[in-house]
Amino acid sequence: MLILNNATLTFETQQLAPFVSNIELTMLQPMVTVADTMLRQGTGAGAAYTDWLHLPTEYDKNEFARIQAAAKKIQANSKVLVVIGIGGSYLGARAAIDFLNEYFNNYLPDEQRDFPQVLFAGNSIAPAYLNSLIKVIGDRDFSVNVISKSGTTTEPAIAFRVFKQMLEDKYGVDGAHDRIYVTTDAKRGALKTLADAEGYERFVVPDGVGGRFSVLTAVGLLPIATAGGDIEQLTAGAAAGEVAYADADLTKNPAYQYAAYRNILYRKGYTTELLINYDPTLVQFGEWWKQLQGESEGKDGKGIFPATGNFSTDLHSFGQYIQDGRRNMFETLFRITEPVSDVVIPEMDADDGLGYLQGEKMSYVNRTASEGTLLAHVDGGVPNMIVELNKQDEFGLGQAIYFFEVAVAISGYLNGINPFDQPGVEAYKRNMFGLLGKPGYEELTAQLKIRL
């Protein structure tokens, strides 16, 4: 186990022993050193999109203060904040809000919540979802944070049109201006132009930070702060990660060690990674992680396929496959040492077979389940690693975010790909634009309709 002094995150690899030898990790050190140089000195592919590397310590302090002020304003005048975005424009914020709050907090009545309800739109084109969300808002006061670097991405652009019209109908054009917050490119784009013309308060998606790395910018910070998250502590945790995960030496850097082990396992045929959790408040973190991993590594016919396992729930669905199916997967268990709250199993006379557990804490049962499952899967031929936070708070979350971000950068370079572009994402967009008849796509429209 590699533990950093005064750190909140530990990385454990004991259960990899049957699958990876120490010499394999040692032999990978020269390549990791090269990957570190490419990342730190900006000589690797995609270097223009590595500003996230020092974001926790070199962020815009003035904008940070404006984010905090805007969050307080929304908290004062709104019962709901609608966050409009897709992919990296919402996954990080949603993961953080779930991570930092009691699971059902976002569904409590207004009088039982200390902060606005945060709802997400623009992440699909399903009309029933949008109509349902509008019903949930009802007559309550609400504000909108629309997040898009270009402003022309179809899913959020449609949603913004709908909610912009709703705000103008409810509060008038001038009143709507006071409830629309735009997070977009600093210099260009349709949304930036609209925000300037209408006078919306505007925040920046930095040029050197790709969407999947943007949770520690205004993209994630405004929704998180509005929901009551302490974004100063979140940033401090990431800053601690920036220091902790900066050494190129594999024996001193758990994030690099994680990247190296992933690479070793991938070369041995373990092409699918499951990020495992044992708490529903961590489910959305897995969704954020899937985009970070999949969009960074899945290209050039290569890459580990990222998936999640929400245990113990999923053990009763595809747990059989994990235990006895094709041996092409490995697991990374992401768990918290100290639960936010606990339940003691009641003592009673009922003959339900639980007499041996009465008086125990559910957290003990949950952790024991995680350990028993891990050992069973290792015995079944599934390599396992553990990333563990000692507390489920903003500081720990910031450190975990940075851990996975820097790890995937090194992992991508080790696999010979650019971890900061996403050329494959544009293919579906082009086809969608063509089939929808967007001007400029007429030739493609004709081609696609013949194929269909």
The catalytic residue positions are: 295, 429
Find all residues with CB under 8 Å of 60, minimum gap 6, and list them: 204
Phi/psi of residue 80, each to 5°?
-140, 140
CB 273 within 8 A of CB 293: yes
Cα angle value 266/297/29 (rounded, 5°) = 55
- Amino acid at site 50: T
Q: Which residues pair with 3 in a beta bridge?
A: 10
Task: Find all residues with CB under 8 Å of 265, minimum gap 6, and list them.
Answer: 19, 20, 330, 383
β-sheet with 180-184: strand ranges across = 117-121, 80-84, 142-147, 180-184, 201-204
What is the rounded CA–CA span in Å between residue 276 and residue 308? 6
Alpha carbons 294 and 94: distance in angstroms, whole number? 18
With a CB cutoff of 8 Å and minimum separation 6, the contacts of 291 are: 87, 88, 91, 212
Q: Is 76 exposed, middle or buried (0-12, 13-18, 19+ CB in 10 A)?
A: exposed
Q: Hunting for tokens 């089939």 — which residue is that?
A: 435
Distances (CA, A) of 220 to 67, 225, 231, 279, 434: 10, 9, 10, 22, 32
